[in-house]
Amino acid sequence: MESAYPGMKVLLANNLMMAYNQAEAAQPVFAFVEDGFTKLPEFEMMMALFSAMDTRWVSVMDTQGATPARKSSPLLDVGAGIFELTKSDHPSQFAQYLDMMLNAPRRSARATASAAPARPSATAGSVKKLILIGSSTGGVEALRNVLVGFPFDCPPTLIVQHTGKNFGSGLVSLLDRICPARVRAAEDGITLEPGHVYIAAGQRRHMGITSRKPLRLRMKEGPDISGHTPSVDALFTSAVPYGKDVVATILTGMGQDGARGLLELRKAGAKTFAQDEKSSVVYGMPRVAWEMGAAQQQVPLTRMANTLLQASKV
């Protein structure tokens, strides 16, 4: 291997968290991924990181004839350029895919995963509008698509993303690389500011908004709400007193978390949206929100950022 590919460095990881941390630090050109990893719900974080770094990857199955994860996972159904190998394949087959990935055309500028984009400072001032977002399965990539379109001085934006324990900080750093605004983890007592995106993910506390101004984040322990902690419903219902100043949406995801809270927000005068079926990886949460009348409009993912920003100007 070393003689065929001089200068190559090989990293090994025996769990998904280790693999994510190593990939984030090393920015690999390619990766072989155990098929079992791809079946974990947290693998969408890995896919988003690979996409951000323009890393090619191959799924390796245990045995010939095994059912590949992409046949049963909606996340992998949308993955383009994913190849599948088995451990029983001849080494030359692995080398063939390695050559294919090394020689494949890449984006004109390889993403630099180590540094956030240079940002001017947003002007501090009273908060006039809030943007609230809830997402679950498929939401990591959906959030990347939305936040890349947010300007450095966007309204304070609060996000609840369902993800596995310990992956919250990775999600924050991943989104902070591509978003012109500043992305940070949700913490109790933070004053909401324009040009900031606050994310609750992978932690055992619900995110909400305080009832006094200046508006601050409130992180509160408690039982699951709508089956989740943090819960989208918990965030949305906490913002009902400020309904007329709120723009809220539900993105792709399983279940119904957020639908009830979105309906309460709409009744309170908020502008409410849901991702449409065609662009959703899993049309669960958005479907429930739409069918119960919580969302005023269904929006394709490609138009979501502009829709939210325009609604926050009204």
Please list the active-site residues: 136, 162, 257
Q: Please give the Cα distance from 172 to 60 (Å, whole number).
A: 29
Question: What's the longest Cα–Cα distance across the chain?
Answer: 67
**DSSP E strands: which ranges in 35-171?**
56-61, 83-86, 130-135, 157-161
Q: How far is CA 230 from the centre of its chain?
A: 15
Closest CA to 249 of 281, 273, 285, 278: 273
Contacts of 262 (CB under 8 A, 6+ apart): 134, 236, 248, 250, 272, 274, 289, 294, 295
SS3 57: strand
